[in-house]
Amino acid sequence: MSVAINAQVAGKLVSVEVKVGDVVKKNDPVAALEAMKMLIQVFAPADGTVASIDAEVGSNIDPGKVIMTLE
DSSP E strands in the chain: the ranges are: 3-6, 11-16, 23-24, 29-35, 38-43, 48-53, 60-61, 66-70
Distances (CA, A) of 37 to 34, 44, 64: 6, 23, 20
In whole angstroms, give the CA distance from residue 68 to residue 3: 9
Mean pLDDT, consecutive 10-residue segments, the chain of 71 residues? Answer: 93 97 98 95 97 97 96 96
Domain boundaries 3-70, CATH class:
mainly beta
Instruction: Look at residue 1 in the predicted model and tell me its pLDDT.
Output: 80
Instruction: Look at residue 60 in the predicted model and tell me its pLDDT.
Output: 96
Instruction: Look at residue 55 in the predicted model and tell me its pLDDT.
Output: 96
